Structures are given as C-alpha cells and as structure tokens.
Amino acid sequence: MKALVVEDEFVSRKMLDSFLAPLFEVDVVVNGAEAIEAFSRAHNQGNSYDLILMDIMMPGVNGLEALERIREIERENSLEPVKVVMTTALSDPKTLIKSFHDGEASAYIVKPLDKIKLMTELKKLKLITK
C-alpha cells in the first residue's frame, strides 16, 4: 500500500514517516501544491495512493484547498476517493466541519500527533487490521 504525507513541519514529517513506514510505501511532500502534483502523478502512473495524511496550515496552497482539488480530480476522472486523514493543529469547529463537508476528509486528527491516535484512525478506515 502507498501513503502520501503532506506536512511542512520537519519533526511532524519525520514522525509520520516513521509511524507509516512499516506498513506503507511512503512519499513525503511539503505543501498543498506538491500534494496535488504527487496525487496526479501517482494516478497517471497507475499507482495511486491508498492514504494521504494532510496537514492544513501550509505555505501556498493549504491542505484544505489541496484536498478539494484532489476531490475535483477524482470526480473528473471517475476515481474511487482516496482516504485522507487531516493531521492538524487547528481544532476550531469551522475547520473540522469544512474538512469533512468540503474536503470529504475520511478522518481528522488534532496535533500533537501520536502513534496510537493515528493507528486508531487507520483501523477505523480498514487500512490496517491490528
């Protein structure tokens, strides 16, 4: 299985990479624009992601904008929606609701990150069994 980590902050990036590496082939990008590009490239190569972990506050294209663009690409190409977990320090109701409604996020994790929180969500999404 393939995962894409979208995270501008170095420590979070390393942490998520280390949590996922035993289970997924992990690619890492640092902003929303790169996330859209990585998503499209993987799809064009017939090697799509099974999971995207998306930070929200990032320079340039933020995580919510990137996710909305990814959903548009999926609709345009009749693709099965990729599972996207928002991983963010933002915990306000508007961002949470917008993530599920406008971005059709699969799950939402408020930082600080830890392995148990992440694995619990991946289990709920049936990406892992144990």
Partner 1 sequence: MSDDALFEEFHAELYDKYYPQIMEGVEAMEGGDVKTGFESFARPLHTIKGVTGFMAGFEEASKFTHKVESYLKKLQAGEIEHSPENVAAAIRAVNMIFQVIEQIRESGEPDQTETSEVLKLLEAQSGGEDDTGQGMDFEVKVESQKGVNIIHVGAPRIHLESQLAPMIKALEDQKEGSWVLLDFTKVLTLSSAGWEAVESFADKLAICAVGLGSACKEVFYSWGFDRSISAFASEEDFWNSMKSH
Closer to partner 1 at the Cβ: 25 or 60? 25
Q: Taking the complex as a whole, how short is the minimal distance between the CB of residue 127 and partner 1, in angstroms?
A: 11
Residue placing its CB nearer to partner 1 in the complex, 11 or 92: 92
Q: What tokens were used for 105?
A: 């996020």
Looking at the DSSP bridge assignments, the partners of residue 28 are 5
Residue 47 Cα distances to 9, 11, 38, 40, 43, angstroms: 26, 27, 11, 10, 6
Q: In the complex, what is the shortest distance from the CB of residue 11 to partner 1, in angstroms, rounded to a whole number?
A: 23
How far is residue 63 from each of residues 7, 38, 55, measured CA to CA in Å?
9, 14, 6
Phi, psi of 52 (to 5 degrees): -125, 130
Q: Least distance to partner 1 from the beta carbon of 82, Å?
A: 10
Q: Is 57 or 97 the residue whose CB approaches partner 1 more closely?
A: 97
Q: Which residues bind partner 1 (CB under 8 A)?
A: 1, 43, 46-48, 50, 77-80, 91-94, 96-97, 99-101, 104-108, 110, 126
